[in-house]
Amino acid sequence: MTTFSAISAQLEGQAIEVPSWAYGNSGTRFKVFGSAGTPRTVEEKIADAAQVNRFTGLAPLVSLHIPWDQVDDFAALRRYAEDLGIGLGTINSNTFQDDDYKLGALTHTDSRIRQKAIDHHLRCIDVMDQTGSRDLKIWLAEGTNYPGQGDMRGRQDRLADSLATIYAAIGDEQRLVLEYKFFEPSFYHTDVPDWGTSYVQVAALGDKALVCLDTGHHAPGTNIEFIVAQLLRLGKLGSFDFNSRFYADDDLIVGAADPFQLFRIMFEVIRGGGYGPDSEVAFMLDQCHNIEKKIPGQIRSVLNVQEMTARALLVDTAALTKAQEDGDVLGANAIFMDAFYTDVRADLAGWREERGLPGDPMAAFAASGYQEQIEADRVGGTQASWN
């Protein structure tokens, strides 16, 4: 099997975007829970995100959500983030919290409402111009609840037209990434329910339009790594939203529900050229921390991705290819499983210490006093939340 020392250099430069909303309050459909120290401003969210990068070296970017992170001066916000040692990443649009969008936004039958949704995305592109962000990520909470409620074909046509208008405004160095979700909040049909629909829509737009794969947005039993392989093969995998699910879109810490699935995904990412300095695939988290502390939750998440990346890099690909070509079913599986079962935690701790990072980022953050400080300081005001 490949040794850790042989793959150590390949861990350099790994970057995982953290989402600004992960530091705000969140909960269930029934209750959003408050917690001490929760940010009240975008700046406080960015300050918390900077702590994740400080202790792990893995999170150099924080993605923003508009309008949750709306400020008057995004250029100043960019400078604020840079002063803390991080940058502003993906800009996420929101067309799911406005009464006008109850029956659709980019797919709506009313041209006025469609234009309102398009204009929101054009404003997001303006934000990207100020923040230096590369990606505009679109997730649409659109669809129908009952058969006959809407014209499914017509909705796809209107979506294509709306996306084309947005895409035309994307800059030369910018990208549009279209996320998919197989259900919720629409239950009879969703307008972008799967990777195929997202692929069809972005393929019609051009090279700067790609698919965003959220690991929690699939039916039980879905082979996500197969989707990863297909999108990489087609050159259309733009980004990941990493999280875990037990039942539906649970938005739990990545790797918590099924570490083996994360390993399998990362193996296909590496095998397909989606990892490394030459890859344009963005790795992001999309999680909510409802009952656990938010900064440690994000630290644990990026460490989980790093650990499964290291394990996936340990696969002896030459031996695996030979076993596959020889039809050695169990031999090939054993090579694969040997890498997964290899404990790399001590190796990663040493790797971090060699680079001036704490060997145990979770313990180092706990000892830093930052959590206690923000809980003491952030009293009064309105805590950030996603609803």
Using DSSP's 3-state secondary structure scheme, residue 255 falls into: coil
- Whether 320 maps to a domain, the answer reads no
Cα 340–344–348 angle (5° rounding)? Answer: 140
- Whether 336 maps to a domain, the answer reads no
Q: Write the pLDDT tens digit of every residue in 81-102.
A: 999 999 999 999 999 999 999 9
- What average pLDDT does this structure show over 200-212? 98
Smallest CA-to-CA distance from 242 within 219, 268, 224 is with 224
Scanning the chain, the segments in alpha helix (DSSP H) are: 4-7, 42-56, 74-83, 111-131, 152-167, 195-203, 224-234, 259-271, 294-313, 317-325, 329-340, 345-354, 361-368, 370-377
CATH number at residue 29: 3.20.20.150
Which amino acid is it at 168? A
- Whether 39 maps to a domain, the answer reads yes
Q: Write the pLDDT tens digit of every residue in 100-116.
A: 999 999 999 999 999 99
- Whether 338 maps to a domain, the answer reads no
The reported pLDDT for the residue numbered 29 is 76
The reported pLDDT for the residue numbered 387 is 63
- Whether 8 maps to a domain, the answer reads no
- Whether 382 maps to a domain, the answer reads no
Domain that holds residue 303: 14-313+344-377
Q: What counts of helices (H) and strands (E) characterise the chain? A: 14, 12
The reported pLDDT for the residue numbered 188 is 97
Q: How far apart are CA 345 and CA 381, in angstroms?
A: 40
Q: How far apart are CA 301 and CA 256, in angstroms?
A: 9
Instruction: Inform me whether the pLDDT recorded for 218 exceeds 70.
Output: yes
Q: Write the pLDDT tens digit of every residue in 273-318.
A: 999 999 999 999 999 999 999 999 999 999 999 999 999 999 999 9
Q: Provide the domain count of the chain.
A: 1
Instruction: Inform me whether the pLDDT recorded for 365 exceeds 90.
Output: yes
- Whether 67 maps to a domain, the answer reads yes
Q: How far apart are CA 255 and CA 344, in angstroms?
A: 15
Instruction: Inform me whether the pLDDT recorded for 349 exceeds 90.
Output: yes
* Position 386 confidence tier, pLDDT thresholds 50, 70, 90: confident
- Whether 235 maps to a domain, the answer reads yes
* Position 14 confidence tier, pLDDT thresholds 50, 70, 90: very high
> What is the residue-wise DSSP string for 161-172?
HHHHHHHTT--T
The reported pLDDT for the residue numbered 108 is 98
Q: Write the pLDDT tens digit of every residue in 315-333.
A: 999 999 999 999 999 999 9
**Omega prior to 185 cis, within 30 of 0:** yes
